[in-house]
Amino acid sequence: MSINLKLQTKLTQQLVLTPQLQLSIKVLQLNHLELKESIELEVQENPVLEIDEKNNYTELYENSDELEVSKILDTYSKLREEYEAKYRSYQQKSYDEEDENIWENFASKKPNLYDHLLWQLNLSHFTNEELRIGEEIIGNIDPDGYLRVSIDEIAQKLNINQDRVENVLKKIQYFDPVGVGSRNISECLLVQIEVFETDKKDLLKKIITHHLEDLSKKNFKKIAHVLNTTVEDIECAFEIIKSLNPKPGQGFGFSEYENQYIEPDVFVFKDGDEYKVILNKEGIPSLKINRQYELMLKNKELDENTKNFLQEKIKNAHWFVKSIHQRGSTILRVAKAIVEYQKDFFDRGINYMRPLTLKDISSMLELHESTISRVTSNKYMLTPNGLFEMKYFFSTGIKKIGSEDVASISVKQVIKELIEKEDPKYPLSDQEISDILKAKGYNIARRTVTKYRESLGILSSNMRKKY
């Protein structure tokens, strides 16, 4: 068999992600807050890009369809003010007026779980070795407050005995919040029971250790029979256990910057019988290329390296500005299509939400489904009905006899309303809910009711029953 070398021409098609396309996709995925941060970073890194200070703020709303933009911004500002007022009220201590004036001069950061535990560790009477062990333990506690590595791993890393690690861990578990550093939910609840003032401590420990699963299903009779006690005692124990905190780390977080504002990407405003949509450009500066650098390129005496550098930076700046405009245009198109399609929702409420898929909007706008997905993910729409993520308006359809399909989210709302109105002593089973829905014209099976009920975080009928 002979091997010959030869040249051959071959024509193929393949998708190539050019730098421009990659940048466009990246910018499209950004929400309003992220876009502002991205612009600030780009202006810092690219010397030829600068903010156009002369651009009038109101001129940014050229797509406003002659709406009074000030009214929309005023509504948005009021929502933010209400949120900030509630947050301040929640955080505020009982300072007098003089103290308030003093504290206004200081910046404070949100306490986080890591710092809170380290603070307690350093105030405790620990040896240097115990402090080292404690720091390693605290560094491996997740935001829910659980230790996510084994005692053996910590002992091996620090080259010490496992018993010493276990002893320090036991002490940390009684830090505030009690139960932090536990390795599972049973251990977490048992630690909290130790500091709980009750004469049923032994019973509680037995239930937590051996019968948590039955307790979650409200199998009170079974637990009472096994532990040789009354159902009333088990119900009392259930109420106590229910008051414990299965996630002691919640409420702290690991970053003082964890809570951030959600800023809408589009505003929806009712104008007569129609809904108008405008892009939120608040805080988004107008960008331009610095003319001095463009003039420098015309200088024939400019060395090659500087020339190549400027050409690259100017090209990147043009791509970045173009990507921002494309992002705004695409978001606006998709938002308008959603509002037009879901007009009944805006007029009459959630029960009138129509089924909508990415493919539907994709066909309407002749855009790829992946583009619609990027546009609607982590983007928010401020409407007369409230603030919604754009993905909220997408849901599958359920057949309804004698009419158009209805959105699954509307069916979920009907299920929620039925359960809210049920008799607590005789809660509706999933089959009964399915029968009621079929009588209303919804073609929905029992297993679908179960799936929707669970997605709403609603317990089964046996667990909702109140004796």
Higher pLDDT, 105 or 176: 176
Residue 436 CA neighbour count, 13 Å, CB half: 15
Q: Are 238 and 273 in a shared domain?
A: no
**42 located within any domain:** no
- Structural contact between residues 421 and 373, judged by C-beta atoms closer than 8 angstroms: no
**334 located within any domain:** yes
**103 located within any domain:** no
Q: What is the CATH number of the domain that holds 188?
A: 1.10.10.1330
328 pLDDT higher than 80: yes
Q: Are 387 and 406 in a shared domain?
A: no
- Structural contact between residues 146 and 182, judged by C-beta atoms closer than 8 angstroms: yes
Q: 275 lies in which domain range?
A: 266-393
d(CA 50, CA 294): 13
Task: State the Rg of the chain over Cα.
Answer: 30
Percentage of the chain lying above the pLDDT 70 cut: 80
Sign of CA dihedral 228, 230, 231, 236: negative
Query: Partners of 423 in the beta sheet?
Result: 426
Read off the pLDDT of residues 156-201 as tens digits, 9 standing for 90 and up: 888 889 999 999 999 999 888 889 999 998 999 999 888 877 778 8
**167 located within any domain:** yes
Q: Are 168 and 125 in a shared domain?
A: yes
**106 located within any domain:** no
Which tokens is 118 given? 């380290």
**171 located within any domain:** yes
Task: At 107, give phi and psi (nearest 5°).
Answer: -95, 140
Largest CA distance in the chain: 98
Number of domains making up the chain: 3
Per-residue pLDDT at 166: 93
Q: Are 208 and 280 in a shared domain?
A: no
- Structural contact between residues 145 and 284, judged by C-beta atoms closer than 8 angstroms: no
Under DSSP, is residue 182 helix (H, G, I), strand (E, B) or coil? Answer: strand
Q: Are 387 and 402 in a shared domain?
A: no
Q: Are 151 and 183 in a shared domain?
A: yes
- Structural contact between residues 215 and 223, judged by C-beta atoms closer than 8 angstroms: yes
One-letter amino acid at 341 equals Y
Per-residue pLDDT at 418: 87
DSSP structure string for 389-401: EGGGG-B-EE-BT
Q: Are 120 and 185 in a shared domain?
A: yes
Query: 380-383 and 386-389: which strand pairing?
Result: antiparallel
369 pLDDT higher than 90: no
330 pLDDT higher than 90: yes
For range 10-28, the mean pLDDT: 72
- Give the DSSP letter of residue 423: B
Out of 393, 418, 448, pick the residue that ends a domain.
393
**18 located within any domain:** no
Per-residue pLDDT at 123: 82
Under DSSP, is residue 416 helix (H, G, I), strand (E, B) or coil? Answer: helix
Q: Are 192 and 129 in a shared domain?
A: yes
Q: Are 117 and 194 in a shared domain?
A: yes
Per-residue pLDDT at 467: 60
88 pLDDT higher than 70: no
For range 323-330, the mean pLDDT: 91
For range 436-465, the mean pLDDT: 81
Out of 368, 393, 418, pick the residue that ends a domain.
393
d(CA 419, CA 412): 11
Q: Are 351 and 405 in a shared domain?
A: no
Higher pLDDT, 99 or 227: 227
Q: What is the CATH number of the domain that holds 445?
A: 1.10.10.60
* Three-state DSSP string of 208-273: HHHCHHHHHCCCHHHHHHHHCCCHHHHHHHHHHHHCCCCCCCCCCCCCCCCCCCCCCCEEEEEECC
114 pLDDT higher than 80: yes
Q: Are 130 and 224 in a shared domain?
A: yes
Identify the top-confidence range among 109-113, 163-167, 239-243, 270-274.
163-167
Length of the chain: 467
Q: Are 290 and 365 in a shared domain?
A: yes
Out of 210, 227, 242, pick the residue that ends a domain.
242
- Structural contact between residues 385 and 345, judged by C-beta atoms closer than 8 angstroms: yes
End-to-end CA distance of the chain: 87
**184 located within any domain:** yes
